[in-house]
Structure 1
C-alpha cells in the first residue's frame, strides 16, 4: 500500500508574525509564515488569513423503530446570495463554546434546544475540517438514537436569534432527499450517506421490536 502519511509536521512550519485584525464571536487572524518544501529547503514568507472558530459537532437523530430521521431548517446568512432560499435543511449542530464541554455533551444540549429531543446512544460518524485552506474549524458528526414518533415543531433560543423548524423524514426517503439537492451542506450529506451504508447494522442494534 502506498504510504500516504505526510512527511512533515507542525515543527516544519515557522510562524513569523501573527496579527488579529478582528475579534468578535469569531476571530480573524493574519499569519505570516514559512514551511518546509517537498524538494528541500524552506518556502519564502507566505501571508494567510485564518478564520478561527470553536470546535463544532452535529447529530442526525434516528428512530430505528419508526424508520424516521429528524432534520432542522433555519435561516443561514451564508446562503443568502446564491441559493433559491437561504432557509437551509441540516443536522442539529452547535459550537463547543463552553469550557470543558465535550462534543457528546454539546450535542445532547443542542438536541434539546433545537429539536426538543433527549438522545439515547450516540455513534460517531466522522470528524473532519470543512475548509482547512482558510479556517481551523473542526466538525464531529454523530448518529443519535431517538424516539421521533411525536417529534417536530418549532424551537431555538430566541436570545440567540434562533428560529428553527424541526421535521421528521422517513429514512426510506433519504436517497430522494439527497438527489433533490436540498441537502447541500457537507455534514448532512455525510451523515445521511453513512446511515444508508450502515442502516442494517444500526437497525439490528437499536430496534426494540
Structure 2
C-alpha cells in the first residue's frame, strides 16, 4: 500500500506506514570481496527517473536474536551476555544471537540453537518481538528478534562447548526495567539488545498483546 501526502514536510500519512519490497533494475553486479561470513558487492541500479546509481554494500546471510525472559517473582528479568567485540574494541552486553548460516535451517530453529549454545537455555514459548535491517544503507542484513519465555536450563552434560571469544562470555539475569534504564543511560550499545529490550518493555506494557507468531512474514 502506498503512502501519500501533499508534498509538504510533516504531512500526515493517508495510509498505514508499512515497509515493502521495491525492485529496481539491476544493470551490473560485481562481487568485490568474499569472506566466510559476508561478501562485498557493487551494483549499478536504474531508478524510476532513468538515473543510474552505483552502490557498494555488504551481502549478509541475516541473523536472529533472542530476548529470553523469566519472571521468578512476578517481575520480568532478561538474560544478558557479555562478549568481546573486536571491531569496536569493547566488551558489550548483548542478548543471545547468531547468523543464519546453516543451510536449510529455519530461523526459529536457528534461534533455539543459539539460545542453547550461548545461554545454556531452552524455551517452551516463542513469539516474534520485532524485525529490523541493521544498516540498510550499507548492508542487506536482516535480523529477527524473538521473545523466548518459559525457559529452562540445558542439562550440564548436554551443554555446548564455547570457543574463542564465546569462551569468555558471562551471562546474568537483569530486571527488565533496569535493562531499559541501561539502554536510556547509554550503557548498552549492541543494537539487538537495545531494540529487543525496548520492544520487550513495550510488549509487556500491553500485556503481551500484539506479539506476532513465529510464522509471521519477515521482510528479508
**135, 144, 149: which is aligned to 2:148?**
144
Q: Report the CA distance between 1:128 and its aligned residue.
A: 1.4
The match for 2:25 is 14
Q: Retained in 1: the 8 A contact 2:64–2:143?
A: yes
- Taking the TM superposition and a 5 Å limit, the aligned residue runs for 1:148-187 are 157-158=162-163, 161-163=165-167, 164-187=169-192
The match for 1:30 is 42
- Taking the TM superposition and a 5 Å limit, the aligned residue runs for 1:74-113 are 74-80=83-89, 86-113=90-117
The match for 1:62 is 69
Q: Retained in 1: the 8 A contact 2:64–2:97?
A: yes
Structure 1 pair 5–170 and aligned structure 2 pair: CA distance change class (3 A): closer
TM-score normalised to structure 2 length: 0.75
Q: Report the CA distance between 1:112 and its aligned residue.
A: 0.9
What 5-or-longer segments of structure 1 have no aligned partner?
81-85, 203-209
CA RMSD between the two structures: 2.7
The match for 1:118 is 122
Q: Report the CA distance between 1:96 and its aligned residue.
A: 0.8
What 5-or-longer segments of structure 2 have no aligned partner?
1-12, 155-159, 209-220
State the secondary structure of the residue aligned to 2:123. Answer: coil
The match for 1:199 is 204
Deviations 1:154-197 (A, max 9, x none): x7631x65232111112332332223312123221222112222
TM-score normalised to structure 1 length: 0.79
